[in-house]
Structure 1
Amino acid sequence: MPVQIGRLKSLKQLNAFVVGRSTGSSIGELREFPQLKRKLAILKLQNVVDARDALQANLKDKKDIKELELAWGAEDPDDSQKEKDVLDKLHPCINIEILTIRFYGGTNFPNWLGDSSFSNLQVMHLSDCSYCWSLPPVGRLPSLKELCIERMKSVKMIGVEFYGRNGASLIQPFQSLEKLKFMEMAEWEEWVHASGDEYGQDFPRLQELNLTNCPKLSRSLPCHLPCLKKLTVSGCEVLHDEGANATTTSSLNYRSLEELEIEGGCQKGLLSLLVEIGNFVDIQCLPNRNCLQRLSLWNCPMLSSFPKDGLPTTLTTLYMQDCKILEFLPDEMLAKLTSLESLWIRNSCDSLRNFPVSIFPKLKKLDIRGCENLETLSFIEEGVNENLSHLRELYIDDCPNLMCFQCQGGWPTPNLNEFTVRECKNFKSLPEGIHTLTALRLLEVNDLPNLESFAEGGLPPNIRDLCIRSCERLRAPVVKYWELERLDSLKWFLIGGSILETLLKEHLLPTTLRILVISECRSIQVLPGEGEGLQHLTSLQALQIDACDNLQFLPREGLQHLTSLQELYITWCPNIQFLPEEGLPPSLSLLEIYNCSALEKRYQNKTGKDWAKISHIPCIKINDQVIII
């Protein structure tokens, strides 16, 4: 039933109040819910006809409400003064802790917003108040911890009024603020700071500052942020530090900074805060900082060198992407990075030829991709294998000149958990003794056309996920050394290439295998069957046959014996003519056929020639059509 907001004088708790157009009322509808909470949302306030109704709501006395979203519509306001009057009269109780105002159409905010009497207010979000030309004095709020201001299209300058200073007042502004965000401030040009000896610092406890898509902001950042840990600057192309030139930013005092994310071509004056840099096209040299823990460089095509005195020893993570001409640090400087735990090199450091893995004693993750001239990974230090007991993940991809790993006496990585080497066309051999890696759970050997053999002593005994594909020089005799049939822990296996036939015909797969992916076996026309092949895999739950271009027939009886099979995927196999003549196992609950032209036509929903043979399967997906039986 439509009611006036003024009739809600006795309201104590309400979790939603929705205002909509109605007849016989100047406000709209009240929708009540059975379980009342401490949150109040008043929406579509543009429909208020008489601001006095808002006053009669008496929100000041609703002491149990802790959170007041107040929202107008996205359309332009009919009367900005009326909208200000409505907001003025919706003065909430001073006990509130969270306040959100959206699509407010007034040109400025009422006096109560920012009043220090709101001593419990901790979170404020001002969004899409497009006609306000200034911000409220929220610096006065003593408990405010998080402030987000976004899409305030009329704000060109943020000045001392933002801090809430009145004349000679010595009140510390933003005394509790920890997170501050300005998002999509299209016309914002200038940020005037109120710091001075008589006032103290502007943001004494600020830990996170985020400036996103403020394309006209050109004045400097606050100079003194003693507690700042994370600074994000994105899409602020003209932002610079006024006191900085091309080589120094001494006017900025961010001593506690741990992480800086800069994206979108911001000026070089921010570089001394370096923890993460993105999209800098004209940087040639990096400055050094002694407190960095995370350094990430991406899309810096002109960056050629690290600091002359190396990187800080506190660094735990180093990420480089698309920094082609960057010279990697010499060994003597790398040796000082004793805290480094994670290292990514992606499409960077073209001059790198030998990577000394053994130089990082605490390294946990190494990820190298697209290093065009890398030839070797060295696990040897002065002729002796280092025990890299911390290394858990090793990933090598798209390094066309990589030939081998340099080791002596086997793998010095006893706790290695995941190992991948792929798309390295000149890679010839892996170190012996991979079976000693008892901690290894995932092994991927993929697209290594010159790899002739590996794992002659067997595969790691506790491996769970295994991928061996596109290694054309691997031959059938090598497969027997792997002792696959003994790997009781193996649950997922992706296999591709000519060795598949040997594995199937000689029953070399473990019977405990649950997921099998047959991929890119382009030379095979018929999968083995009738006593060979898949039928002994009685624990198999999912089977995928993918990108086998010349495969024409599945085994006539083999799939029917897979009594645990629940999912069957046949993808990118254009020459398969039909499914097994003897039918599919009754346990099957999902069949997916994708980009297999002959199968798509034969098993099309209701109209296909053999639709009746699969119509009992509960879920069938053919290309993008899902059929639930």
Structure 2
Amino acid sequence: MMHHKSSSTVSKNTCCLEKLWIKNCSSLKFFPTGELPSTLELLCIWGCANLESISEKMSPNGTALEYLDIRGYPNLKILPECLTSLKELHIEDCGGLECFPKRGLSTPNLMHLRIWRCVNLRSLPQQMKNLTSVHTLSIRGFPGVESFLEGVFPNMASFSDEESLLPPSLTYLFISELESLTTLALQNLVSLTELGIDCCLQAQFLELPATLGRLEITGCPIIKESCLKEKGGYWPNFSHIPCIQIDGSYIH
């Protein structure tokens, strides 16, 4: 919990702040100063149900921030656009987040992106293909999603990258709890080496890149039947993958 005596005192004490964790402070409503310090490199906000939106408090010159982890923060409406140094972004259980900035994420150095259980989020950021430093993408629990990639794939019946909308640098992709998903067409992700699919009950069609070295599937009964060694209809498409794990058991 933060206590402050005056704005001048707080400003003096935080002008060189590099790391800030705010966790489970349900009574915290406002940041003590007008803006977060521009020197901040790491910011974690967890379980702050009444805290004002961070997007209005990020300094326009706050280019130092490299790690942003936000969880259980319902007042988060939109992410700030001044995150040019950001390398890792985690967003979980932020029910107030409905969209990303219209121009996409201004995060050219972003390497890791995780978005979990933001139930009102309608799509992934636009211009994802321009985030050429992103190596890992993890997405989970989007019951209201209409599309993930710039208005494509209504109702998430399919997740395809035929138009090369995901970052070409992507090496790891994890997809979980997408209730309407039936198709995964990822053959154009030529850098992808690891793929995890979890609790996508309707998923049944997979098109995967030849570069894939590990495939892990959990709670996807239709895919499981298709992947059974020498029995499933899709086995010839998967047999080249060195490591395949289904519901905790290695089949290849």
Which of the five TM-score ranges fits, normalised by the shorter chain? 0.7 to 0.9
Q: How does 1:12-23 map to 2 (within 5 A)?
A: none
- Where does residue 320 of structure 1 map in the other structure? 22
Alpha-carbon offset, residue 330 of structure 1: 5.4
Deviation of 1:457 after TM superposition, in Å, equals 9.6
How far is 1:420 from its partner?
Answer: 2.0
What amino acid is aligned across from residue 434 of structure 1 in structure 2? M
Structure 1 unaligned residues grouped into runs of 5+: 1-282, 287-305, 380-385, 459-470, 573-590, 594-616, 618-629
Partner of 1:423: 117
Q: Determine the structure 2 residue equivalent to 1:483.
A: 164
Displacement, 1:428?
2.3
Mapped to 2, the partners of 1:502 and 1:369 lie a distance apart of: 28
Which of 228, 232, 245 in structure 2 is aligned with 1:569? Answer: 245
Aligned to 1:14: none
Within the alignment, does 1:372 sit opposite 2:74 as a pair? yes
Q: Is the 8 A contact 1:433 1:457 kept in 2?
A: no
**CA distance 1:540–1:342, shift in 2 (3 Å):** closer
Aligned to 1:274: none
**What is the letter of the counterpart of residue 514 of structure 1?**
T
Instruction: State the structure with bigger RCO (CA 8 A, min sep 6), 1 or 2.
Output: 2
The alpha-carbon deviation at position 510 of structure 1 amounts to 4.1
**Superposition RMSD in Å:** 3.5
5 Å matches for 1:450-469? 450-456=144-150
Work out which of the two has the higher radius of gyration on C-alpha atoms and give 1 or 2: 1
| 8 Å CA contact retained: 2:193, 2:213 | yes
Shift of 1:568: 2.5
C-alpha deviation, 1:490, in angstroms:
3.9
2:218 paired with 1:546: yes
What's the % identity of the aligned pairs?
Answer: 26
Q: Give runs of aligned pairs for residues 348-363 of structure 1, distance below 5 A.
A: 348=48, 350-356=50-56, 358-359=58-59, 360-363=62-65
Structure 2 segments unaligned to the other structure (5+ residues):
none
Instruction: Find the aligned partners of 1:552 and 1:442 in 2 and give their Cα distance.
Output: 24
For residues 552 and 349 of structure 1, the distance between their equivalents in structure 2, rounded to whole angstroms, comes to 39
Relative to the length of structure 1, the TM-score reads 0.34
Give distance in 1, aligned partners of 2:167 and 2:238.
20
Aligned equivalents of 2:210, 2:102: Cα separation in 1: 41
Alignment deviations for residues 414-451 of structure 1 (CA, whole Å, 9 cap, x no partner): 22222222211112244432222222222233212223
Task: Go from structure 1 to structure 2 and tell me whether the alpha carbon gap of 1:371 and 1:443 turns closer, same or farther (over 3 Å shift).
Answer: same
Residue 370 of structure 1: CA displacement?
0.8
TM-score normalised by the chain length of structure 2 = 0.75
- Tell me how far 1:484 sits from its aligned partner: 6.7
The answer to whether the 8 A contact 2:129-2:164 is kept is no
Per-residue CA deviation, residues 350-400 of structure 1 (Å, 9 max, x unaligned), is 232353364133211111111133323232xxxxxx4x3222222111111
Contact 1:457 1:481 in 2 (8 A): no
1:15-70 superposed Cα distances (whole Å, 9 cap, x missing partner): xxxxxxxxxxxxxxxxxxxxxxxxxxxxxxxxxxxxxxxxxxxxxxxxxxxxxxxx
Structure 1 counterpart of 2:174: 494
Choose from 308, 313, 322 the match for 2:6. Answer: 308
| 1:474 and 2:156 are equivalent in the alignment | yes
C-alpha distance in structure 2 between counterparts of 1:486 and 1:355, whole Å? 25
